[in-house]
Amino acid sequence: MAGKGKIVTRYVAQSGDVILKGVASVVLLLGAELALASAPGDIVPQGNALPPATWQERNHPDMPTLPQCDLDGARAVYKMAELPETVSSEIARVFASGGISEADGPFNSTDFVDGPVPRRRFLRGYRSGDYWIIWFEVGGNAGGPRTIALRRFIRAPASSPAFQARPGTIFAGDLCAASKAILAGVVSANGG
């Protein structure tokens, strides 16, 4: 056998108004089987509401401090309500699964799903030429700030311009550098 190990972790699982607390241990035998044993602890009745401080931490964390970004004359907006309707409707379509909240609004900043709070939050938007670059944040362990670009297109010569999400423009990390890259024509290889 190559090796073995034991992982012990505490867990809290909630179903309705009951919280189950306990310890789960996993025994790993490399090249062998995985066994899971759980030792449930007490069942503690709770209301459906989280304590206010816990709810605030999970669902309404402070807005991140973001640097100003000089995108060669791009117009910045700091609220989704300031976006044109054609842009905000495309954002709503793209993020229909999980939703997106207004800047400084509540959003689920954790991996723990706790009610109908959106999984994303608007941070900022920039209009540059045929693009709107949207900065947003995603909650969870692999979350953080992201970009997505919407590009203007015209369906027919007589119609008004509309915007569509451009594949390959979801980037994480330095949002200003990502925005400059998008405007220079860079897209991600995985189409994100």
pLDDT mean by block of 10 residues, the chain; 192 residues: 43 44 38 34 45 75 85 94 93 92 89 81 95 94 92 69 88 95 91 62
pLDDT in tens, 82-126: 999 999 999 999 999 889 999 989 888 887 776 788 999 999 999
Which among 80, 164, 177 is positioned nearest to 122, based on CA atoms? 80
Instruction: Enter the pTM of the model.
Output: 0.69
Under a CB-based contact definition with an 8 Å cutoff, are residues 100 and 117 in contact?
no
Q: What is the pLDDT of residue 45?
A: 34
